[in-house]
Each structure stands twice: as C-alpha cells, then as structure tokens.
C-alpha cells in the first residue's frame, strides 16, 4: 500500500487547517496541481464536500464547493472532508456481506459511498480526508472501516497520503496541530480511491 507524506512549503504560513476543516488550504491546492494535474498545469476540477454527521438526511447538510471548474474537464474528483465526530467508532460493525449490502438510500457511511460511486464516472476519484480521534482517551484510526465500506460500494484503494500539520524550520519540523484536533494529532490522512465501473 503506497504511502506518501506531504509537507507544507517554507512559504506556507498556515500549516494547520482552518477550524472545522480537515485539510489545510495548501494541501487542497496541492491536490489540484500535483495529484490530479492537467496537461496545461492548471488546477484540475474538484468538488469538495464537508461531512459533519451521518444521521438521516446527511446529504442535505453537507456544505460543498466547486474549485477550478471547467466545462471542458473530462473527469470529476470528489473530495470528502470527514469531521472526526462523523467517523465510525472503533467498535462499529464490519460491512455486511456483498449480497446483503444496502443501496444508495441507506444512511451512514455505506449509503454515502454508494451515492458517491453513482455520482462519479468510471475511474473518477474519491478523496477521503480524515484524521484520528480520541475515544476513551485512546487515539483511534477510522481508515480501515472507511476503506472497507468504500471497497464494498465499488471503489479501489490507490494511495494513502499523510498531510503533516507542521512548520518547516531549518532542518526540522515544528508541530502546528489544528486548534480543534484531539491532543496528539499532528497530521491528517488523505485516502485516494478510484471508482470501478460495473459490467
């Protein structure tokens, strides 16, 4: 499983994301210019949604914005920033067997991934931005549960990018964690998934 570490440039003043966001602005810009670049080196089209909960009607409460939109763009990349409170608890049940998996009308993460898969074209990208959370005093990582749900809905895992929240100073990194992050969290995770077409 390929893993990459992204660090802010020396000219980046804000290493941490804005309150309520998962990724810092420099990382979102890097997605468009490095992860999904176009031949003319302009930022690729990107739709960003902020998922703050997984209760019924979650889609209606997602804030969204479109970046670098172009009528000539061929593909679509969806960036879902997942608020730590919306992530599966460590004891969350594993996804149901394929034959029993609920469809796009289902609430919660299974339904979200099914709807995202229907929205994206074949080989479209879904980017999940998340960070660890603290449960009963212990940092937990939700990525395994999220990737399992995404695979069941028809996505292929491509890459894991670690987005460091730190300032480069000389030959070292000085932590700059988000103000609303749990104690001990100094990075966010960016998971790259590709939509698989169905025959």
- How far is Cα of residue 195 from the mean position of the Cα atoms in its chain? 14
CA atoms within 13 A on the CB side of 192: 16
Token pair 């796009």 is at which residue? 104
* Element spanning 172, H or E: strand 172-175
pLDDT of 91: 52
Predicted confidence band of residue 155 (pLDDT cuts 50, 70, 90): very high
Strand partners, 166: 175
pLDDT of 21: 85
Question: What is the average per-residue pLDDT within 5-20?
Answer: 79
Residue 160, pLDDT above cutoff 90: yes
Counting residues of the chain whose pLDDT is more than 70, the rounded percentage is 75
Tell me the per-residue pLDDT of 33-61, one tens digit each, with 9 for 90 and over.
Answer: 777 766 666 666 788 888 887 777 776 67
- For 67, list phi and psi in degrees, rounded to 5: -115, 140
pTM for this model (two decimals): 0.80
Neighbour tally for 45: CB within 10 Å: 20
SS3 content of the chain, % helix, strand, coil (to 5): 20, 30, 50
Alpha helices in the chain (DSSP H): 25-30, 58-61, 108-119, 143-153
Tell me the per-residue pLDDT of 98-140, one tens digit each, with 9 for 90 and over.
Answer: 444 444 456 678 888 988 888 888 778 899 999 887 777 777 7
The residues, ordered by sequence, that sit 6+ positions from 43 with a Cβ below 8 Å of its Cβ are 29, 32, 33, 67, 68
Torsion (CA) 148, 161, 112, 67 in degrees, nearest 10: -160
pLDDT of 79: 92
pLDDT of 10: 77
Beta carbons of 4 and 161 less than 8 angstroms apart: yes
**Dist CA 45 CA 76 (whole Å):** 7
């Amino acid at each position: 499983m390929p893993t990459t570490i992204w660090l802010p440039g020396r000219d980046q003043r804000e290493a941490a994301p804005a309150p309520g966001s998962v990724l810092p602005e420099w990382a979102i810009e890097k997605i468009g210019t490095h992860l999904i670049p176009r031949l003319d080196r302009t930022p690729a089209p990107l739709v960003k949604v902020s998922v703050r909960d997984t209760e019924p009607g979650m889609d209606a409460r997602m804030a969204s914005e479109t970046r670098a939109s172009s009528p000539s763009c061929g593909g679509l990349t969806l960036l879902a920033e997942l608020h730590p409170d919306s992530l599966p608890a460590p004891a969350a049940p594993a996804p149901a067997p394929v034959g029993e998996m609920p469809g796009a009308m289902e609430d919660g993460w299974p339904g979200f991934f099914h709807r995202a898969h229907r929205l994206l074209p074949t080989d479209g990208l879904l980017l999940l931005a998340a960070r660890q959370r603290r449960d009963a005093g212990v940092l937990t990582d939700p990525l395994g549960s999220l990737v399992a749900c995404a695979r069941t809905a028809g996505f292929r895992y491509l890459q894991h990018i670690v987005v460091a929240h730190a300032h480069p100073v000389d030959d070292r990194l000085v932590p700059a964690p988000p103000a609303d992050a749990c104690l001990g969290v100094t990075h966010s995770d960016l998971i790259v998934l590709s939509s698989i077409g169905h025959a």
